[in-house]
Amino acid sequence: MLKLIKKSVAQSNQNIFFNTFAAGWLLKNKTIEIMKAETIFERLWEQYVAENPGAGQIHNLFLKEGERVVNDHVAFRTFDDPRVNIDVLARPFLEAGYVPAGEYHFETKKLRARHYEMPDNPESPRVFISELMLDQFSEELQLTIREQLDAVPKDVLESPELIFKGSIFSSINHVTYMHLREESEYAAWMYAFGYRANHFTVSINYLKSFEGISEVNSFLKEHGFQLNSSGGEIKGTPEQLLEQSSTLADKVEVEFSDGTHTIPGCYYEFARRYEDVKGKLFSAFIAGSADKIFESTDYRGA
C-alpha cells in the first residue's frame, strides 16, 4: 500500500501543491495529505494535554524552571491486524520523512514494536509504535477486537488521520473493558483509547537545571505526581545508555455505553540517553525497560 502511494506521488508530481503546513496530491479523486512531522506532533500534543492535564502541568513546570522541553519520543499502540498494524500507523510518519530504526519483542505481554527516526534531525522525536499480537490471545479476545474492527468504515482505517482518531469502535462498554484487562491491560487500554499519542517523553538531555533522572523524579514527586515504580522508578542504567521513568497515567473519565468510568489514560515519560564508547548518542530502546513502562497505564482500581 505504501509503495503504491509513493509511486502515485512520483507519477503526479505536477499536481503537487505546497503550503506551509502540508503538501497534498490527487489520487483517485481523493486528496491525500502529507502532513509535516511538526504538524503531526502539534496536533497530537494538543489532544494529549487536553485529555491528560497532568502532562500539561508537568510541561508548564519545566517551562517555569526556564527549560526548553524537547521530546525524546512519542509512542502509539495498536493491534497486529493488517488493517491497523504498525505499518499502517507508521504511514504518515514515513511520508513525513521518518525511517524504521529498531525492532523489539515482548514475549509475556505478547507485543511487538518498532521505532522510527527522522534522519539528520536530532530534535524530531523518535516514534515508537507497538502492536498486540492478537493470535496469541483467547478466541474471545480476538473476536471482540476483530468484530469491532469489521464495523469500522474503511475510510477511517485508511485515513492518514487514523493516528488522531482515539477509539474507533462504535460502542465500547465497561464490562468488556474489564474483561479484556484479565488477558491484557494493553488490549483494554486500546479498546478504550485507541489512536492518539499514548505518551510524550521529555528528553532529560536537553534540560539545563536537572543533573539527571533522579532529580527529575524528585521534582515530579515534590509537585505531587506519582511515578510508575514497576521495576523501580528508574528503568535502565548509564551502562545500558538509556534511563527512563514515567508518571502513572492520568485518570480519565470515559463514557462507556454502560456508564461513565474513570480509568487510566495517558502518561508522561522522561528519558536520558548516553553516548557509547565512540561518542555516538544511543538512539534505540531497551526491551526490558519498555516492558515495565507499558505498565504505566495499568488499571489501578476504581
> Contact with Ni ion (CB under 5 A): which of 51, 269, 291, 295?
269
Place of cell 536530532: 122
Closest to 270 in 3D by CA, of 224, 175, 205: 205
Of 176 and 246, nearer to ligand OOG (C-beta) is: 246
Residue 285's binding partner among Ni ion, ligand OOG, none (Cβ under 5 to 8 angstroms by kind) is ligand OOG
Q: Which residues in 135-174 contact ligand OOG (CB under 6 A)?
A: none
222: DSSP letter: H
CB of 104 to ligand OOG, least distance (A): 8
Q: Which residue is nearest to ligand OOG (CB)?
A: 290
Of 112 and 144, nearer to Ni ion (C-beta) is: 112
Residue 289's binding partner among ligand OOG, Ni ion, none (Cβ under 5 to 8 angstroms by kind) is ligand OOG
Q: Is beta strand 126-132 parallel, antiparallel or unpaired with respect to 71-79?
A: parallel
296: DSSP letter: G
For residue 102 the three cell numbers come to 529498531
Q: Is 270 in the site for ligand OOG (CB under 6 A)?
A: no
Report the C-alpha gap between 2 and 7 in whole angstroms. Answer: 9
Q: Which residues in 6-35 contact ligand OOG (CB under 6 A)?
A: none
H or E element, residue 185:
helix 185-193
> Contact with ligand OOG (CB under 6 A): which of 52, 71, 78, 130?
130
Residues 6+ apart with CB under 8 A from 60: none
State the amino acid at position 52 in one-letter form. Answer: N
**CA–CA distance from 217 to each of 117, 121, 183 (Å)?**
27, 28, 31
Q: Which residues in 63-122 contact Ni ion (CB under 5 A)?
A: 75
Footprint of Ni ion on this chain (CB under 5 A)?
75, 269
Using CB under 6 A, list all residues that contact ligand OOG. 75, 77, 128, 130, 198, 244, 269, 285, 289-290, 293-294
